[in-house]
Amino acid sequence: MPVLLATTLDLLAPALERDGAVVVDATLGLGGHAEALLERFPGLRLVGVDRDPTALALAGERLARFGARFHGVHAVYDEIPAALDEAGLPAVDGVLFDLGVSSMQLDEDDRGFSYARDVPLDMRMDPGEPRTAADVVNGWSAADLARIFSRYGEERLAGRYARAIVAAREATPVRGSAQLVAILEQATPAAMKSRGHVGKRVFQALRIEVNRELEVLERAIPAALDRILTGGRIVILSYHSLEDRIAKRALAARTVSTAPRGLPVETDETAPTFRMLTRGTPTAADAEVQENPRAASVRLRAAERIRGEPRTA
């Protein structure tokens, strides 16, 4: 079920109500947001981007009834400019990012994202990519494992967990999630076992590293902003502080004047090209969280281009 669906549609609406408007769903998934957008705006064309070929195929089936109004592209979302060029679209009226792992990926055991069930340590959003989570867990040094657990999982026990993994894999490779969770549980001090599932932060860190999520996102948001027409809008849904920090920085770079303090006149070079549409980060209501637990951690940011031309090359 799409998170913050009504809010997302309402924020994008002023940019998408004209006939011929174009929106990019940069994280197509199973097409929930895309379907709602195409239904609400009958004159809209949608370019759906996803790195997961299975999700892309399922979304294509779901959206087939919209015909040529939907164009699916197998790509990572920092490749939005290339996807638009492929579709013959130099600029767009809207962009949506719904970040993080999808419910389909969590639910499919062979994808290896879950720490709640015993599944292979895979975690690739695109199964065609060569490196799995098992490769990282079994091949990286304790120092490198500790670095990603700390940086991408904000895990306080990063060093302790990394050393425990390296010691355990000397006896047998770590191939499954239950095996990894057991190592983490054994390495967790009794006083810290009440803070939630021991695998949550480590699995998040492994997923981010395997899919290069943050480095891709740092390129993707500016690339998307470059292609938005004046009056066009962007909505970003993030699910942990690392993603939200990147979104906040990328939008701040376009919504704040770069003129030196005290400059009497704003110039074209220093004036902001976007304005924020949200104050703070709107979150899901309790009723939505009850119906869809994934909404509990969502943070939303949105902005509108107010001046300047999209960059098409």
Residue the block writes with tokens 């120092």: 143
Strands 228-238 and 92-98: parallel
Which tokens is 143 given?
Answer: 């120092």
Q: What six digits make up the tokens of 83? A: 């996807």
Q: Which tokens in the block code for residue 250?
A: 């990328």
Phi-psi region of 275 (alpha: psi -120 to 50; beta: other; left: phi over 0): beta
Sign, CA dihedral 6-284-96-72, equals: negative
In contact, 7 and 300? CB cutoff 8 Å: yes
Annotated binding-site residue? 32 = yes
Q: Is 161 annotated as a binding residue?
A: no
31 appears as a binding residue in the annotation: yes
Residue 82 identity: A
For residue 122, what are its two tokens? 């895979």
Phi, psi of 228 (to 5 degrees): -90, 130
Q: Rounded to whole angstroms, how far apart are CA atoms 299 and 31?
A: 20
Q: Which residue has the tokens 């705006």?
A: 41
Residue written as token pair 């994280």: 27
Is 98 annotated as belonging to a binding site?
A: yes
- Is 110 labelled a binding residue? no
Characterize 214-235 residue by residue with b for buried, 16 or more Cβ atoms within 10 angstroms of its Cβ, and e for exposed.
Answer: eebbebbbbbbbbbbbbebbbb
Nearest to 60 by CA among 98, 28, 14: 28
Compute the chain's Rg from CA coordinates: 21
Q: How many CB atoms lie within 10 A of CB 206?
A: 27
Binding site residues, as ranges?
31-33, 50, 77, 98, 105
Binding site residues for S-adenosyl-L-methionine, as ranges?
31-33, 50, 77, 98, 105
